[in-house]
Structure 1
Amino acid sequence: MIFSFVTIAKGQIQTREVRGVVQDSTGRPLVGVTVRLYAKSDTMMASTNEHGRFIFNKVAASDFKLTFSLIGFQLFERHYTSNVLLPITELVTVNLKEQPHELQEIAVYGVIPVVIKQDTIQYNAKAYSVRKNALLEEMIKQMPGLQVDRNGNIDAQGQRVTRVKVNGKDFFDGDVLTATRNLPAEIVENVQIIDDYGDQANITGIKNTEPEKVLNVTIKEDKNFGTFGQVTAGGGVDANDKAHSRYIGSFSANKFKGNKQVSILGSTNNTNTSLFSFGDISGAGSRDGTDLSSMIDGGDGINSASSIGMNYRDEVAKGVSVYGGYTFTKRRNQTIGTTRLTSIYENRQINSLDEVKSLSDNIKHKLTWTVEANIDTANYLKITPTASYITNDLLSESHSAITDKRVFTDRLYKTSGTYSDPNFDIDLFYNHRFPTRGRNLSVIAKFEYYKRTRSDVANDFSTSIDSGYNNPQVGYQQFLQRVGNFSYNRSMLLGMSYMEPVTKRSYLELNYQYESNSIANARNTFDIDSVTARESLVDSLSIDYDYLFQTHQFGINYQGSLDRLKYTVGFALQPTKLDGKTPSRDVVTHINNLNFVPSARLQYAINKTSNLSLNYRGQNNQPAFTQIQPIRDVSNPQYIVVGNANLKPEFMNMVSVQYRSFNIQNGSSLFTNFSFTHIQDKVVTNRISTPNSTIQETAFLNANGYYDLRGFYHYSAPLAGKVLTLNLNGSMDYTNNLTYINNVRNVGRNMIFSQNLQVNFQIEDLLEADLRSSYTINKIRYNIPSFMDAGANTFSLGFGGKGYLPKKWIISADFSQNFNSGYSSSISANPTLLNVYIEKSFLQNDMLAIRLQGFDLFNKNTGVRREILGNSIMDMQNNRLARYFLVSLNIRLQKFPSEI
């Protein structure tokens, strides 16, 4: 049901309109439903029209009860509190349930799977059938435009979903996995993908920043009261490491009682399973058309992880709700790999073949809490403090063979480090609605304090042979150094927006925003005597450097709407200032800029199931601290880094077009995104090779000419009702990148193209299967004639299936074959991957399941990828968790009342 509350000033009493829609269980509008409104001050009655709509005019009360009655349907009633902040507030749909003796006489119509509204795509859970006791993640995999990899990451229309909400409120601080791998699919009413522009933009409608992809889960009315949870335990053997067994364990307990929700979750495993993957003991992972390797863990190395968390939500007083929680995570990663790095220079190449081992231990505590208060009909306040503390211990060892035309360097490089990062921030948002409709004032504030203490020890021993002489010259170098870093970051953001109505359908916004980012950094470098272990400070490599980046933005926007078109146009003036100083060296930086920032946003509703949007915005980016600090960093002697205190901030111009459509008649959907980004004063690298040496030095400068063009599409269509479904998606990224090579400007044109095909086959309660293929090409061309162009391709084929056998048996298999070409000769992996499991369910409602699974039966799981950075091409091949066998037990418990 969608309610809109329009506040009207009349004397000292504010009244509003209450509107809504009533449907049956299939989503069909119901005509002639008697709707009664009960409040302390008045009682009203209305009936729904042919569209299922009703309206009450001039309702004085903000708290009231609505009852809905119609012959052949069960009586439904519910209390409501009007949202005094928004002129339009969306609540859950009211679906009347049929009386049991009338069910055979009711005509059932098909459910509309997808509804498209401006910045929201809503999926109706009733349209997607999943097995009993399935988790939400399994349902999401069926939704067009959404892709889920084995780690649980969700991409929506080509963009990563970064946060999740349950009934409009953050759940476990927005952690996606916690919701999708903990909530049962059967309790879900709708799944929404929202382009979230922030609290202020959601109020004013002025959306000129980069949106965040948010997944919002609405719970069914009759499932919003209940208790559910699960326990998983499993153990097995590793075919490659007999000394270590594989294990997985998890538990979850959830109690929902209307506005009050309590959840406690915990997990531990060494099977490279993502955190909070409660009950996900499949090992087969997801089977989507985007990432065929997702059936095998995509994370490099062998991982072990433990976690525990608590989430709480309640309405503690009238109009005041609180929600938040605490999470603790502990991770260990061990990675062994080979990296081939080719650095291209005019008339020469430096090639490095590295055998790398690394170990990291990470611990994180995080506490988040939110207080939301509808103070009265005109005032709203939201406060969110967050505190976290992270510690990390790192060990790394690499053996490198580095060559160019005449010099060969054999190198052993070891590093160890430890750091801690306490962080605290608080977000505040306040909104005031004036009696005049559309007049509005909102204020935002954000304060953050971030501190890092880090200590690293580097031990480098290298032997170089220069064959450019009649008698080859041999040189030895040993480097032992400790670097201590202490830094803190204090940032502040203050913003204000004032809205004034111009006409009934247009508004003028005046806004101001101030942002300050202050960084202090102390870096001390010590040489260590390899014999006595005594340390001596190196003044030339130590520094105490502070800098302050400030922006003011004064803007004006005009927003209007026609029948199907909603538009916003505006501009802002943005003066920026960057100040830096190093007292010990008399280094002072002072840079001022003034940017003119136009913005525009158009949204056109083609019809009820398709829309088109166009966005333009500008944005400043400050240089990173490692780029701006005026010091030579020689902690890695082969790759020296020099900062530039005179760097200017970057300015980005971004244009994007988005088209979304769903065809009700044939069930097909099409989602497309196209974007163009141009960056002025782009911070780029200047790579300098040392003559007669394999040493490379990196400096930074500003340059113009960078742009990036990206495109994405996803098309889905049923081929035979719900039995066969076709999914096509593809992406393209073309980057005109800039670097300098030995002070000479170089343009690298990099194109990454990917095309994916997937056909799903499903016979409910009998068989699920899919065929899939994927092709990706990564090419780069340079404008310097002597540079070699480079390209790498990956082609994948796969099949996945799950059969439901009599007597509650399930058998599943996943197969994938990857073909990689164009990589370095030292990087060779075309893995053939196969996972299988067999499962047996027991007891009432299949609450107990025992599973035997084999993971990567061919023992071929290997990670291969390519990265292109400036004039360097890096091909990497790292170990991943390979063949193991696991027996696991899963128990699910849930209790929901049949009626609210």
Structure 2
Amino acid sequence: MTFILKASAQQVREVNGTVTDSIGPAPGVNVKLISDRDSLNTTTSTTGAFVFKAVKGKNFKITVSGIGYQTFVRRYVMDNDTKPIRLEPIKLSNDSKLLNTVNITAVNPITVKEDTVEYKASAYKVREGSPVEELLKKLPGVTVDKNGVVTAHGKQVTKVRVNGKDYFTGDVQTATQNLPADIIEAIQVIDDYGDQANLTGIKTGDPDKILNLTIQKGKRVGKFGQAAVGVGNDERYLTRVSANTFKDDRQISFVGTVNNNNTNAFNFGGGGGRGGGGGGANGITTNRSGGFNYRDSWGKKMTVYSSYSFADQDRRTESTSLQQSLFQSGTIINSNNTTDKNNNINHRFDFNLEYKIDTLNYLKVNPNFSYGSSKDENVNIFTNTRINDVTTGDENSLTKGNSPSYGGNLLYNHRFKKKGRNFSINSNFNFSDNTSNLDDKYTTRNNNSVFPLYQQINTDNSTTRLSLRASYMEPLSKTNFLEASYAYNFNNNDNNRRNYRVDPTTNIATFVDSLSTVYNYRFITNTFGLNLRGIKPKYNYTIGLSARPVTLEGETHNITTKNNTFNWVPTAHFVYNFAKNHTLNFNYSGTNNQPSFTQLQVNPDYSNPQNVVYGNPDLKPEFNNNLTLNYNQFDIGSGNSLFTNLNFTETQNKIVTSTRPVSNKVLNPSNSKDSTAQETRYINTNGFYSYGGNYAFSKPFSNRRYTVTFNGGLSYNNNINFIEEKRNEGKNFVWNQGIKFRLDLDSIMDSEVSANYSANKTRYSLPSSINTDANTITLGLDGRNYFFYDFILGYNLTQTINHGFSSTVKSNPTLLSSYLEYQFLNKHAASLRFQAFDLFNQNTGISRSVSGNRIVDTRSNRLGRYFLLSFTIRLQKFNGAGKPPAGFRNRNGGFGGRRRG
């Protein structure tokens, strides 16, 4: 017996090794050792190392596998020695086929790769029933403001996808505030260059920042949703419901709300509040909205996803603003007190069909339709001063409008049998028609005289847009590809403005031809491009050059104008992978901007007698040179993350204003001087540029229980405008620095303390007496404490200290909101919450904008103090993992929102 035990002990040995890929160490991959006496599993460390301490078998098989890699299998035959065995380094090869068909299940909390940063949801704990928004707040480099606006790595997120497909047309707040965090596997922050770039890999232009939410495999078959109802003082109320049914590829969702506490279900481009109070939204809004989202696979080759959204919103906004306009002959001060009542009704329908015809051909069709109607009542009381002259007045206006829009997008891609050879064509069509009827009563008082100006302005502006881009890609070698492309953009605008003067006594309207405009203009670009793409183990690049002739032409009152310009547009996109989770990304793009109707119109616009606007039909389109540089790093060992962004824009033929004070004979023909009135004209000039940057560095401690984040940014704008025909440069510098300390103690507390300082400074090249410096200090405390397992105490405290703003708008609000919530039923499925919002009743919005020779400080009302008692029920039932969603490609796949290489 002793001999047998001794012999067995002699067969136990240590086996160790390392795993690498084309970039460097491969952490987090699975390593399995099997012999006739062993079945052992482990994962590689941050350096790619693995070790099996006690291997009994003499001969064994090693299997190494990981998402995105070809599986490595090798048999080893060893001698009878018991010394540790050091295996030769194992190098894994990328598996492009696997990358295009499965979801990411990264072991590490953050994975950084080229144009995508992925966060593993399980690494950032949130309370049961919390929405995705609460999960986003914990991700390094990601912020969510009081309006629910998501900013990732310094850029606002514009779209959300679920498993690679748009969710409610990509509406950000709809997804982040209604989907539960506990069904999410991973959150990907993607620089998206568009569907065509996803297929070809050629990345040109400026990318959009989007989110892709991947659903856990075990949550892809089931039903889940929630409903809430609440009542409060000051006639506050809230009802909200969301329901979802998932069965593999088929996903059906409904979201709806009726409330008057600034909670929006959908964002139709007008901003607005967020779930839970709308503390950062200007005005007070009543919302009635609802919508459906549908996704399914029709057979093995076809995937469809569609949504319909409806919103009916009433908003009342009260604001005070002070505008300082620099002139050498004396600054004009415009003080305004405005009350605005607005009703908007919006419908939006979107449909997508993706058809994989065969292994070589792909087709995507995307028709869409929207319709909006609005009614706006505006009352403004103003005082304009310049030196010792004072003009007062008031304006009452009523505007009604409609804006139908429809269009579609068609994308076709053909892959040839020769690997790398590819042809694609992407076409887009859109038509929109905006009509409005304005009844305006404008009364000005100057030198004890009253000058009424009543008018009706009816406008009908329609826009037709057509674009087409064709791309052919030819492989030059295994790692180099040449793309030839052609793009055509056609933009036609028909603008009709009919101006009527109304007699204040008889109320009779008289058409004024000299103040009316019928103007048609077209903006046409043709772009011929050649791009070279290279793919290397540690870097890849796209470099190219395009020729872009541009035509801007128009007709009005039998007058024809035409401007032709030509631009050489270089293209550059470069990605360098220093190591795992350590990338540098550079991008250059050139874009054209067309003038607007207001800037081009021939007849002057007298709708505001204090600022008469003259268009310039000879304007040239702007051309922008845009450069961005991103540096992202995540250290697996320490958990430290760093996200940085630098950007620079230089504009040629920048369209700027040329302003000067004028005597206003339209107001009063007998008055030789009205020194508070001004005129605005538009001209092209050069010298405009801007640059900026931001960073976010996070350092976690104690397994991410504590996290310190430093974040900051700066921007500089060299604005150009002309004042009394003299060139003026407005150098606007804005910077901010913040620090946050976050505590995530499971089942105890989830809290964040923050401090931020921001400064806004402007210097003009012409002499100025305008107050140009303002700064803000913001201190915050936001969190939740958990008691007795079932109780939650939530709180949000913000102290804002403003300095340098106009005394008419200055405010230093202290905002305190809190709630006590009792959760009950299985898995906290139900909750009862008592919320106290803005206990000190000081919620106001303060902002400053700098443009040309103007600095505008504004203060707006926001939802004030109220109390709300609400009940919420959450229901979930999941049946299993199901199958992967059809058409969803991850890591570097094309159809799901990620790109190859």
Aligned to 2:428: 446
Q: Are residues 547 and 87 of structure 1, via their aligned partners in 2, closer, same or farther at CA, if it must alter by over 3 Å?
A: farther
The CA deviation at 1:30 is 4.0
Of residues 188, 195, 199 in structure 2, which corresponds to 1:192?
A: 188
The CA deviation at 1:94 is 6.8
> Which TM-score applies when normalising by structure 2?
0.86
1:188-587 paired onto structure 2 within 5 Å: 188-238=184-234, 245-275=235-265, 297-465=279-447, 474-582=448-556, 585-587=557-559
Cα offsets for 1:422-463 (capped at 9, x unmatched): 000100000000000000000000001111111111111111
Do 2:658 and 2:681's aligned partners in 1 also have CA atoms closer than 8 Å? yes
Aligned to 1:840: 822
The CA deviation at 1:199 is 1.1
> Which TM-score applies when normalising by structure 1?
0.86
Cα offsets for 1:578-634 (capped at 9, x unmatched): 11001xx33211101111111111110010111001111111111112111112111
Do 1:151 and 1:298's aligned partners in 2 also have CA atoms closer than 8 Å? yes
Q: For the residues of structure 1 that align with 2:808 and 2:255, how far apart are their CA atoms?
A: 44
| 861-870 vs 371-380, greater mean Cα deviation | 861-870
Alignment partner of 1:631 is 2:645: no
Aligned to 1:91: 102
Do 2:177 and 2:275's aligned partners in 1 also have CA atoms closer than 8 Å? no
Do 1:756 and 1:775's aligned partners in 2 also have CA atoms closer than 8 Å? yes
* 5+ long unaligned stretches in structure 1: 1-19, 21-25, 35-46, 58-82, 96-110, 239-244, 278-282, 287-294, 466-473
Aligned to 1:29: 30
The CA deviation at 1:285 is 7.5
The CA deviation at 1:719 is 3.2
Aligned to 1:722: 704
Q: Are residues 661 and 90 of structure 1, via their aligned partners in 2, closer, same or farther at CA, if it must alter by over 3 Å?
A: farther
Amino acid at match of 2:728: N
Q: Are residues 529 and 254 of structure 1, via their aligned partners in 2, closer, same or farther at CA, if it must alter by over 3 Å?
A: same
Q: Are residues 33 and 832 of structure 1, via their aligned partners in 2, closer, same or farther at CA, if it must alter by over 3 Å?
A: farther
Q: Are residues 524 and 168 of structure 1, via their aligned partners in 2, closer, same or farther at CA, if it must alter by over 3 Å?
A: same
Q: For the residues of structure 2 that align with 1:202 and 1:496, how far apart are their CA atoms?
A: 14
Amino acid at match of 1:652: N
Alignment partner of 1:177 is 2:173: yes
Aligned to 2:678: 696
The CA deviation at 1:310 is 0.3
Do 1:267 and 1:276's aligned partners in 2 also have CA atoms closer than 8 Å? no
Q: For the residues of structure 1 that align with 2:661 and 2:329, how far apart are their CA atoms?
A: 12
Q: For the residues of structure 1 that align with 2:880 and 2:655, how far apart are their CA atoms?
A: 61
Do 1:346 and 1:787's aligned partners in 2 also have CA atoms closer than 8 Å? no
Amino acid at match of 1:655: L
Query: Match of 2:739, SS?
Result: strand
Do 2:324 and 2:770's aligned partners in 1 also have CA atoms closer than 8 Å? no
Q: For the residues of structure 1 that align with 2:441 and 2:62, how far apart are their CA atoms?
A: 78
Amino acid at match of 1:264: F
Query: Match of 2:134, SS?
Result: helix
Query: Match of 2:139, SS?
Result: coil
Query: Match of 1:202, SS?
Result: helix
Q: Are residues 796 and 285 of structure 1, via their aligned partners in 2, closer, same or farther at CA, if it must alter by over 3 Å?
A: farther
Alignment partner of 1:50 is 2:55: no
Aligned to 1:773: 755
Q: Are residues 217 and 409 of structure 1, via their aligned partners in 2, closer, same or farther at CA, if it must alter by over 3 Å?
A: same
Dislocated runs of 4+, deviation >4 Å: 51-57, 283-286
Amino acid at match of 1:265: V
Aligned to 1:13: none
The structure with higher relative contact order (CA 8 Å, sep 6+) is 2
Query: Match of 2:396, SS?
Result: strand
Amino acid at match of 1:710: G
The number of aligned residues is 794
Do 2:261 and 2:278's aligned partners in 1 also have CA atoms closer than 8 Å? no
Q: For the residues of structure 2 that align with 1:366 and 1:804, how far apart are their CA atoms?
A: 41
Alignment partner of 1:655 is 2:627: yes
Do 2:498 and 2:516's aligned partners in 1 also have CA atoms closer than 8 Å? yes
Amino acid at match of 1:168: G
Do 2:325 and 2:853's aligned partners in 1 also have CA atoms closer than 8 Å? yes
What RMSD in Å do the two structures reach over aligned CA positions?
2.1
Amino acid at match of 2:102: L
Cα offsets for 1:808-842 (capped at 9, x unmatched): 11112221111001011212210111111101111
Q: For the residues of structure 1 that align with 2:817 and 2:278, how far apart are their CA atoms?
A: 8
Aligned to 1:75: none
Of residues 550, 567, 588 in structure 2, which corresponds to 1:595?
A: 567
| 208-217 vs 132-141, greater mean Cα deviation | 132-141
Alignment partner of 1:166 is 2:162: yes
Do 2:263 and 2:275's aligned partners in 1 also have CA atoms closer than 8 Å? no
Q: For the residues of structure 2 that align with 1:511 and 1:169, how far apart are their CA atoms?
A: 27
Q: For the residues of structure 1 that align with 2:216 and 2:798, how far apart are their CA atoms?
A: 37
Cα offsets for 1:310-349 (capped at 9, x unmatched): 0111101221011111110111110112111111100301
Cα offsets for 1:723-754 (capped at 9, x unmatched): 21001111111000000111111000001111
Do 2:696 and 2:711's aligned partners in 1 also have CA atoms closer than 8 Å? yes
Q: For the residues of structure 2 that align with 1:758 and 1:330, how far apart are their CA atoms?
A: 38
Amino acid at match of 1:417: T
Do 1:566 and 1:603's aligned partners in 2 also have CA atoms closer than 8 Å? yes
Query: Match of 1:161, SS?
Result: strand
Aligned to 1:641: 613
Q: For the residues of structure 1 that align with 2:293 and 2:734, how far apart are their CA atoms?
A: 41
Do 1:273 and 1:297's aligned partners in 2 also have CA atoms closer than 8 Å? no
Do 1:151 and 1:274's aligned partners in 2 also have CA atoms closer than 8 Å? no
Q: For the residues of structure 2 that align with 1:124 and 1:33, how far apart are their CA atoms?
A: 30
1:608-627 paired onto structure 2 within 5 Å: 608-627=580-599
Q: For the residues of structure 1 that align with 2:789 and 2:186, how far apart are their CA atoms?
A: 32
Aligned to 2:112: 116
Q: For the residues of structure 1 that align with 2:700 and 2:70, how far apart are their CA atoms?
A: 38
Do 2:758 and 2:775's aligned partners in 1 also have CA atoms closer than 8 Å? yes
The CA deviation at 1:296 is 6.4
Aligned to 2:734: 752
* 5+ long unaligned stretches in structure 2: 1-20, 22-26, 36-60, 73-94, 268-272, 664-672, 883-901
The CA deviation at 1:93 is 4.3
Query: Match of 1:223, SS?
Result: coil
Q: For the residues of structure 2 that align with 1:856 and 1:284, how far apart are their CA atoms?
A: 15
The CA deviation at 1:760 is 0.6
Query: Match of 2:178, SS?
Result: coil
Query: Match of 1:126, SS?
Result: helix
Q: Are residues 416 and 505 of structure 1, via their aligned partners in 2, closer, same or farther at CA, if it must alter by over 3 Å?
A: same
Query: Match of 1:897, SS?
Result: strand
Q: Are residues 868 and 191 of structure 1, via their aligned partners in 2, closer, same or farther at CA, if it must alter by over 3 Å?
A: same
Query: Match of 1:50, SS?
Result: strand
Alignment partner of 1:134 is 2:134: no
Q: For the residues of structure 1 that align with 2:104 and 2:854, how far apart are their CA atoms?
A: 55
Q: Are residues 743 and 367 of structure 1, via their aligned partners in 2, closer, same or farther at CA, if it must alter by over 3 Å?
A: same
Of residues 785, 802, 808 in structure 2, which corresponds to 1:803?
A: 785
Do 1:810 and 1:839's aligned partners in 2 also have CA atoms closer than 8 Å? yes
